[in-house]
Amino acid sequence: MNNVRIKERSIGKSTWGFFVPRFIVWLCIVGLSVLLFTEASLTDQEVEFNSQSSVAVSRIQEQLVINDAALSGFASMLQISGPADVTQVQGYTQRMRDAHSQIYMFEALVGIHPKDQFGFAQRMQLEGLPGYKVYRYVSRNSTTGKPSKPFNLIHDTPVMFPVFFIDPYKDEVKRLLGFDMMSAKLMREPLLKALTTGQTVASRPYALREGGKGYILYKSIKNVLTESGEDAVGALVATVLVLTDPMLEAAHAAIPSASVSLVYGDKDKLAAEERAPDEGFAPVWEIDKLSKEYKLDKFGQPFTILVTQQVGLYPNELNQLIILVLLLSLSFIIYIRTSIAKHRSEVQRDQALIQIAQQHDELENRVAKRTSELQRSSDENRRLAKQIIRIQEDQYHHLARELHDEFGQTLTAIKISAHIIAQNEDLDVVQRCAEDIFEHSDELYENIRHLIQRLRPEALDMFGLKMAIAQCAGEFKFSEQDIDVELDIDESIDSLDETYTLATYRIIQELLNNAAKYAHANTIKVQIHEEPAGMCICVIDDGVGFDKNALKKGYGLNGIYERVKTLGGIVDIQTAPGSGVNTCVKIPADFPPEV
């Protein structure tokens, strides 16, 4: 049994030992799968980011080339036509503006001496620009409404560069005609650099009144080479105003999932408003950030492009990850169910072995117990056989003694009377002897009838058990002893099998006999009732009772116990000195159903 208990505990532990390691391994597999999937997704996003950011930069570069080409073409046509005839230039600038959204405005400048500004204004008025005048930049903080600085110099020569051509020629930009770009620092510096180097130079981006930001590209048609700067007078300069927002918008269109910034120069000033990622391109689960910086300094346009993108799991990738986890979970469940089924069969096998061992132990115990019971039963059967033989011998001895005592004396008396009659002729003597014979014959008949009644009650066959018990109670002549006898007997007992009928009669007969001899009672109750489990027989008296522990079973009680035990019943005697006797016998008898 100890081995069985140890194995039961080992089975309980093996269930946890089976499931927990596999669950931990599954968690590791899921974690590794999620990590690999995330790494692969981030790698794909990085590759796509590099590709798209390269496309965005190429679009910026393309527009820088277009800006320079448009300015160069404008400068070439301006060099051919000169300031006197710019009408043919206007067609070119119109086409360029229509073809490229970032090109906003073309302007042409010419160098004049400050002394000649009024004459130049008159000439421009005569050429179709009424109200044209040359004016300089006035600071907003000026109290006089006049420029606070003298004319600007190129080397030692004062020079003005007023605007004499503008396209588009709109009301909102007409005011720029005649404006001296040398008077504004923002425009003077790139203008001087273009004049002295001959290169295309860009101004710093600035906010436009029309909204947004832009910058001006300058290209000098003739370089200022003299040390005095006198050759700046009459020099032509072509400019184009470029909008930075369309440039950045084109770049952002190539990579809508990132934020794109366009920065000018070394001070990293924004050349356009930063473009944030389009709606719907933000990852659900942000993991990292990718950044790229591209420095462009072509055609005098020193820009830096900053591209930044959040990377992580987007809705579709998160759905794929969830599906992956679900598939892994489903696989794990299938594996666990299969493994559990296999493990369960092993556990069931072990449990079956345990049950077999338990049943084996139980069977051994039952066999040992049954062997002991059979041994006791065998001993009891031998004792009962001896008891039956002894009872039969006692009955034979009792019957022989009664026959000898009762019948022998009576027959001897009859024989003596008959012998007297045979030898005597005296009628009186014969008459007296004949009467003695009759009297002894009646006594013999009565003794025979009484003996037959004791051996087999005649009332059992003629009237049934209930009437036989009543007759038996009457034979003890309790009424003559002032003892009340109460009979409470069910009618159904008359339908019992003969075995139960005879046993019941003998049990009642013996109990009444004991009560008559020893009880000294005033009342005796006899109860026989049908119960679901069989039959209940009770004989109760209010006599002197006795001590059960000091009782030595005699022939009568032994006979009752043996009869009841033979029929599978039990005997219960409740008594105490001075408390009467209550004897109940329960026998599992079968009553026929009522018709």
Task: Give the residues of the chain that fall short of pLDDT 70.
Answer: 1-18, 82-86, 139-151, 224-225, 227-228, 266-268, 380-381, 383-400, 402-407, 449-456, 459, 551-556, 594-595
Cα–Cα distance measured from residue 502 to residue 395, given in angstroms and rounded to the nearest whole number: 17
- Provide the pLDDT for residue 247: 87
Say if residues 540 and 585 touch (Cβ distance below 8 Å): no
Boundary (domain end) residue, out of 282, 313, 344: 313
Residues 6+ apart with CB under 8 A from 131: 125
Residue 475 lies in a domain: yes
- Residue 424 belongs to some domain of the structure: no
Torsion of CA 506, 508, 512, 513, to 10 degrees: 10
CA distance 173 to 205: 18
Question: pLDDT (tens digit, 9 = 90+) per residue, 153-207?
Answer: 777 778 889 998 888 888 777 888 888 888 888 888 888 888 888 888 988 898 8
SS3 assignment for 442-511: HHHHHHHHHHHHHHCCHHHHHCCHHHHHHHHHHHCCCHHHCCEEEEEECHHHHHCCHHHHHHHHHHHHHH
Q: Supply the pLDDT for residue 464.
A: 83
Q: Name the nearest CA neighbour of 243 among 220, 211, 199.
A: 211
Determine whether 582 is exposed, middle or buried from the number of CB atoms within 10 Å of its CB (0-12, 13-18, 19+): middle
pLDDT for res 6 = 46
Give the Cα separation of 81 and 489 in Å (integer). 152
* Any domain includes 246: yes
Residue 535's CATH number: 3.30.565.10
How many domains is the chain partitioned into structurally?
Answer: 2
522: DSSP letter: S
Task: Report the alpha-carbon distance of residue 100 to residue 157 in Å, rounded.
Answer: 38
Nearest Cα neighbor of 259 from 239, 246, 281, 275 is 275
pLDDT for residue 393: 65
d(Cα 72, Cα 170) in Å, to the nearest integer? 23
Q: Is the pTM value of this prediction over 0.85?
A: no
Q: The domain that contains 218 carries what CATH number?
A: 3.30.450.350
Which residue, 255, 282, 313, sits at the end of a domain? 313
Position 276 in a domain: yes
For strand 157-158 and strand 534-541, is the pairing parallel, antiparallel, or unpaired? unpaired
Give domain status of residue 11, yes or no: no
CA dihedral (419, 420, 421, 425) positive or negative: positive
Does residue 191 sit within a domain? yes
CA distance 178 to 171: 14
- Determine the pLDDT at residue 422: 77
Tell the burial category of 123 from Cβ atoms under 10 Å away from its Cβ (0-12, 13-18, 19+): middle
Among 253, 288, 313, identify where a domain stops. Answer: 313
Measured CA to CA in angstroms, residue 82 lies from 108, 121, 441 at distances of 10, 16, 188
Residue 437, in any domain of the structure:
no
SS3 220: strand
- Of 87, 100, 183, 84, which is closest to residue 134 (Cα–Cα)? 183
Is 398 part of any domain? Answer: no
- Neighbouring residues of 336: CB distance < 8 A, sequence distance ≥ 6: 19, 22
Domain holding 32, by residue range, is 20-313
Environment class of 512 (CB within 10 Å of its CB; exposed 0-12, middle 13-18, buried 19+): buried
Which pLDDT score, from 0 to 100, does residue 217 have?
93
